[in-house]
């Protein structure tokens, strides 16, 4: 509104002074409409040069219109880009200098010299001002970039702090597991080995006794993996039929047994030589083999498609789903056959666990619902789906599907 206010005041002044320039003022007002109206505004050198020319004509007729050069300065400083702003401001400074030196007599060369000096001073002063304002703009831009960077760094720090909190909580839980579950399982293994050495195990108890020891060893390995905050042991071992040698130590020192178990766990980790793509299939085969030996029930494990690597935690979710399904079969199904199929499809990996057991009614049965809920939560955490097909007397089928990450491992 400043340009229009100046033009209105100068128009009234010239009318009162008897030097009316109504036509030129009207043309100038219309010319400024696309320059200073926000809706119609356009960055245009033609509009700017036209405004400078109209202002020059007004100044030559009535020097008081030199005050109107403010409108051209406003447009140049606000809308014209750097460094083209410099010659634009210089042209306005020439018009302003002509207006300021209008009262100087130009009968001799001295008058023109003084006029030139006034014009030059205007040009220098306004050019310096333009440079200072440009530097200020650069500083403001740099400040804005710095603020954006600080916001990004702050977000990163918050994420790192959150991650550190999660890691610290996992370490705390690992310590608790080590001091309770792992130590307890180590003691169980040591006591059972001591019992084997001191007493003759009746033949009818040999298989259950061996099964208990194997379950304790597997649970101990899983507990140690939790202590290390790693994925399940079966994924890292990657040897489906790997078995541990029987330990002949007595229970005279539980700490010695714990150290020997640590050593065997480290040895098994160092033997992981299979590719990441086949890790899950090997882990499932290992879990199935151990479950089959404990429950004396055959399990058929099949892998279809081309194995591709998943996020270790996604592999963990599928492995845990298979373990939970096998545990439910052992507790409730009364099955004679069990099948596990791992299928690598175009955009997802599917795990199917089938049995020919008793089945159950999903609508009414609450038995095992907690385990099914945990399975579903694990799979859905990776944008997957879990489907259960069963009915009384017709067996049970559990199908878990997790999308494959774009480009492989995420």
In the sheet that 385-390 helps form, which strands lie side by side, from edge to edge? 299-304, 338-344, 348-355, 396-403, 385-390
Read off the DSSP letter of residue 180. I
Q: What is the mean pLDDT of residues 113-132?
A: 81
pLDDT at residue 277, as a whole number:
60
Interval 235-293: pLDDT, tens: 555 544 443 333 434 444 444 544 444 444 444 434 443 455 678 888 899 989 988 88
The span from the CA of 232 to the CA of 224, in Å, is: 9
- Output the DSSP codes for 21-50: -HHHHHHHHHHHHHHH-TTT----HHHHHH
- pLDDT interval class at 367 (50, 70, 90): very low
Looking at domain 276-410, does it have CATH number 3.40.50.80? no
What pairing do the DSSP bridges indicate for beta strands 385-390 and 299-304? unpaired
Report pLDDT for 168.
74
Which of these, 286, 288, 254, 256, lies nearest to 271 by C-alpha position?
Answer: 286
How would you classify the pairing of strands 385-390 and 338-344?
Answer: unpaired
pLDDT of residue 350: 94
Q: What confidence category does residue 19 fall into, taking pLDDT thresholds of 50, 70 and 90?
A: confident
Of these ranges, 117-131, 230-244, 291-305, the one predicted with the greatest mean pLDDT is: 291-305
- pLDDT tens for 153-176 read 998 899 888 887 877 777 677 667
Q: Where are the domains of the chain?
A: 2-150, 276-410
CA gap 337, 333 in Å, rounded:
10
Write down the pLDDT at residue 384: 93
Decide which of 252 and 112 is more confident.
112
Return the SS3 of 157: helix
Query: What pLDDT does residue 17 have?
Result: 72
pLDDT at position 392 over 50:
yes
Average pLDDT, the chain: 77
What per-residue confidence (pLDDT) applies to 311? 84
């Amino acid at each position: 509104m400043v340009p229009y206010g100046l033009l209105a005041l100068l128009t009234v002044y010239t009318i009162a002074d008897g030097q009316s320039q109504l036509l030129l003022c009207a043309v100038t007002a219309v010319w400024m409409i696309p320059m200073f109206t926000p809706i119609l505004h356009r960055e245009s050198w033609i509009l700017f040069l036209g405004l400078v020319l109209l202002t020059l004509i007004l100044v030559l007729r009535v020097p008081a219109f030199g005050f109107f050069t403010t409108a051209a300065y406003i447009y140049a400083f606000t809308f014209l880009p750097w460094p083209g702003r410099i010659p634009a401001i210089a042209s306005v400074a020439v018009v302003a200098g002509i207006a300021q030196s209008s009262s100087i007599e130009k009968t001799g060369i001295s008058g023109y010299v003084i006029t030139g000096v006034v014009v030059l001073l205007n040009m220098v002063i306004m050019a310096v001002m333009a440079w200072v304002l440009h530097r200020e703009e650069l500083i403001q831009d740099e400040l804005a970039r710095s603020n954006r960077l600080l916001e990004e760094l702050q977000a990163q720090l918050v994420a790192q702090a959150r991650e550190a909190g999660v890691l610290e909580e996992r370490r705390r839980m690992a310590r608790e597991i080590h001091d309770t579950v792992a130590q307890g399982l180590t003691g169980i293994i040591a006591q059972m080995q001591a019992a084997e050495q001191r007493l003759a195990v009746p033949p009818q108890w040999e298989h259950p006794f061996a099964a208990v020891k194997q379950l304790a060893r597997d649970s101990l390995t899983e507990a140690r993996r939790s202590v290390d905050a790693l994925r399940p042991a079966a994924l890292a071992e990657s040897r489906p039929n790997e078995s541990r040698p029987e330990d002949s130590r007595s229970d005279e020192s539980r700490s010695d047994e714990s150290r020997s178990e640590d050593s065997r766990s480290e040895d098994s980790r160092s033997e992981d030589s299979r590719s990441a793509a086949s890790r899950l299939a090997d882990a499932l085969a290992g879990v199935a083999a151990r479950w089959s030996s404990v429950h004396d029930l055959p399990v058929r494990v099949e892998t279809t498609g081309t194995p591709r690597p998943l996020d270790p935690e996604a592999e963990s979710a599928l492995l845990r789903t298979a373990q939970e399904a096998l545990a439910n079969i052992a507790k409730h199904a009364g099955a004679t056959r069990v099948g596990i199929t791992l299928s690598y499809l175009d955009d997802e990996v599917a795990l199917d666990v089938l049995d020919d057991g008793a089945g159950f009614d999903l609508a009414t049965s609450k038995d095992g619902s907690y385990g099914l809920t945990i399975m579903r939560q694990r799979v859905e955490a990776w944008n997957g789906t879990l489907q259960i097909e069963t009915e009384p007397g017709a067996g049970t089928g559990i199908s878990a599907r997790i999308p494959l990450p774009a480009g492989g491992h995420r």
